[in-house]
Structures are given as C-alpha cells and as structure tokens.
C-alpha cells in the first residue's frame, strides 16, 4: 500500500484522537454530563480532575463529536448519550475501556520488539479489566453472531460447546436460530460472571448453560454435535493450538462439526491489514500469540483428523473455517 508522508502523519495523529476518546471514557466524562449542561469547572468538580485540563479535554471532545458546547457550558452529544453513558440502552463503554486497558501494552511496543517479551499478558489481568474485555467481546461480536449462524447449517445440531466462549454471544445466537439446540459456554469464572448477565438479558437460560474451567487443564466434556472455537487461537502458540483442536476432536461425536473463527492471514502474512496489525496486539499482550494463515490452520485440522475442511466467506474482519470429525 503506497502512501504519502502527509498520509503517514495523519495515521500517527489519529492516535491522539484515540487517546482523547479513551481518556474521556476512563474518566467518565459522559456520565458526569448525563443529567445537565455544565461548565468545565463543574465537570472537574464531579470528576475530581484539574479544571484547566478538563476544559481543554472538553473542547477537544466537542471537536471530535463527543460533546456539544453553548455559552461555555458542555453537554453530551447524541453519540455520547447513546453509547457512553452507563446504563444507556446502547452503552458501548466497556469496549472502549478494554481498548484503554490494552493501550498500556501497546505503548511498550518498541521495547517488546527489542526483547521479544510481551508488555503484559491479556490473559492475566484484574477481574474488573477482564470483565471489560468480556463485555467488549459481546459488543464487538453480537451482530456477527447472526451472520455466522446463517452461514452454517445448524438444523441437525442439538448440542453445542462454545469453547472459551466468553460472553456466550454465539451460543445465544445459535440457540435462537435452532430452538432444539442446547449449548454449553465453557470458560473461566470471571468470563462466565459476565456471560451469566448476558444470558439472562436475552432470556436464554433454558438453552444455554455455563461451565467453569480451563480448557487446557480441565475436561471439556464430550458428545457434542458442534464445537465452536471463536477468536481463541490468536492468543496461543502452535503447540497449544494443536492441543485445543485435539480436545475439540475428543469432545465431538462422529460426524460432528467444528467451526473455527479468527483473524486469518493470507500466505504472505501481510494481508488482510486487520489480521497483520492484530498480530502486534498479540505480540504486546501474550507470550506466543499471533495471527495465523489459512493454510497453517487447515494443516493442523487435517493432522488432528478433521475432514471436509473449508472456508466460509462472511463479511467482517475475521475468517471462518468449518471442518468435520470423520465418522468412526
């Protein structure tokens, strides 16, 4: 991709705008403005922040469309009211707080490249940050769950395992499409604390159950018609991913279906852009994680014993591979 130096600078400066948005979310500016138009000093009083700095931040938020300003008083923009005020119907602050959390790791990228060691593990964070991460996964994935459910024939599936399923988004959507299906979301306790809220929100408790465990150390169960592994393998190295696939194989009935979704690279590893960039997110946050090529994943599946391995083209940033466990 060719670009000019000016275009390169624009990409760098976009990071400044990102940081303004993330700091506004971390500070809770939209919450402070949720019930009244306030001066900068009044907002600072509510937030416990410096008045001058708060005034500068609020003016920048106006410039970015997150706030409105009239007669030196500030109010939330429509966008902020809808998506950044806690308790609003379409609240999306958890996803932004998740990005704020991983910003710290990204800031250490230069040293990470020097040392080869991550800034911090995204899998070992305080529960409150982990809750933000899981809620973000729900926000980011909900619309895509329906696309995936439509792309795969679920008519004969009665039992599903959503392995490392986080908020349970896919289990909920798949069960909504197939009323006879029952699904188990398997993940660690902090993830399932959020999943429990989301399952209740969707009234899916009759079809979706939650099982606490570590899919490396614990038994993940057996007898499933479908195992879903969505956005998991990028966090681990090849040895661990092969183990995950072996356990998925063991959990499936003969002829059972595996769906694997992740950021998948073309063979030269430079495209699509989102997958190449996401590899750096794994570099700064995990010990061995990265993004993998279609061919790498296909080879792991076939060597594990899966057959009928095929790609599914679905709009969006992630790639999908479907495979089947050979009948005995």
Output the tens digit of pLDDT for each of the chain's 328 residues. Answer: 688 999 999 999 999 999 999 999 999 999 999 999 999 999 999 999 999 999 999 999 999 999 999 999 999 999 999 999 999 999 999 999 999 999 999 999 999 999 999 986 544 667 788 899 999 999 999 989 999 999 999 999 999 999 999 999 999 999 999 999 999 999 999 999 999 999 999 999 999 999 999 999 999 999 999 999 999 999 999 999 999 999 999 999 999 999 999 999 999 999 999 999 999 999 999 999 999 999 999 999 999 999 999 999 899 889 999 999 998 6
Where does residue 59 rank: exposed (0-12), middle (13-18), buried (19+ CB within 10 A)? middle
Checking phi first, is residue 166 left (phi over 0); if not, alpha (psi -120 to 50) or beta? Answer: left
320 vs 38: CA distance, rounded Å = 48
Alpha-carbon span 106 to 113, nearest angstrom: 11
CA-based nearest residue to 161, from 86, 80, 239, 251: 251
Report pLDDT for 1: 65
Round to whole Å and give the CA distance between 139 and 313.
22
Tokens of 110: 């230069």
Give the class (CATH, top level) of 5-85.
Answer: mainly alpha
Quote the pLDDT of residue 2. 80
Tokens of 138: 């729900």
The pTM score is 0.92
Domain ranges within the chain, ordered by starting residue: 5-85, 127-325
Q: Has domain 127-325 been given CATH number 3.40.50.150?
A: yes
The rounded Cα 250 to chain-centroid distance in angstroms is 26
List Cα–Cα distances, 54 to 18, 38, 67, 73, 154, in angstroms: 17, 12, 13, 12, 52
Gyration radius of the chain's alpha carbons: 22
At 127 the pLDDT is 74
Give the bridge partners for 208, in sequence order: 183
Express the helix, strand and coil content of the chain in percent, nearest 5 each: 50, 20, 30
Token look-up 């900068």 returns 40
């Amino acid at each position: 991709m060719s670009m000019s130096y000016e275009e390169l600078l624009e990409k760098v400066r976009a990071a400044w705008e990102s940081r303004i948005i993330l700091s506004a979310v971390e500070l809770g500016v939209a919450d402070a403005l949720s019930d009244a138009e306030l001066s900068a000093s009044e907002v600072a009083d509510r937030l416990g922040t410096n008045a001058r700095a708060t005034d500068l931040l609020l003016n920048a938020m106006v410039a970015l469309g997150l706030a409105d300003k009239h007669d030196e008083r500030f109010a939330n923009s429509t966008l902020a009211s809808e998506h950044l005020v806690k308790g609003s119907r379409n609240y999306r602050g958890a996803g932004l707080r998740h990005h704020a959390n991983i910003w710290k790791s990204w800031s250490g990228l230069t040293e990470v490249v020097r040392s080869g060691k991550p800034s911090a593990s995204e899998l070992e964070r305080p529960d409150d940050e982990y809750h933000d991460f899981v809620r973000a996964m729900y926000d980011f994935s909900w619309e895509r769950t329906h696309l995936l459910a439509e792309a795969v024939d679920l008519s004969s599936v009665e039992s599903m395992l959503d392995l490392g399923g986080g908020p349970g988004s896919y289990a909920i959507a798949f069960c909504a499409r197939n009323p006879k299906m029952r699904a188990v979301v398997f993940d660690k306790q902090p993830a399932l604390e959020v999943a429990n809220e989301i399952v209740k929100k969707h009234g899916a408790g009759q079809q979706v159950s939650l099982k606490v465990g570590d899919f490396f150390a614990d038994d993940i169960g057996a007898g499933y018609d479908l195992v879903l592994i969505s956005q998991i393998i990028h966090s681990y190295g090849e040895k661990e991913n092969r183990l995950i696939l072996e356990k998925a194989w063991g959990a499936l009935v003969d002829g059972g279906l595996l769906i694997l979704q992740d950021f998948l690279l073309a063979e030269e590893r430079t495209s699509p852009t989102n997958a190449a960039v996401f590899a750096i997110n794994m570099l700064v946050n995990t010990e061995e994680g990265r993004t993998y090529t279609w061919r790498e994943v296909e080879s792991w599946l076939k060597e594990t014993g899966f057959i009928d391995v095929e790609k599914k083209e679905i709009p969006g940033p992630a790639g999908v591979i479907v495979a089947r466990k050979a009948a005995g």
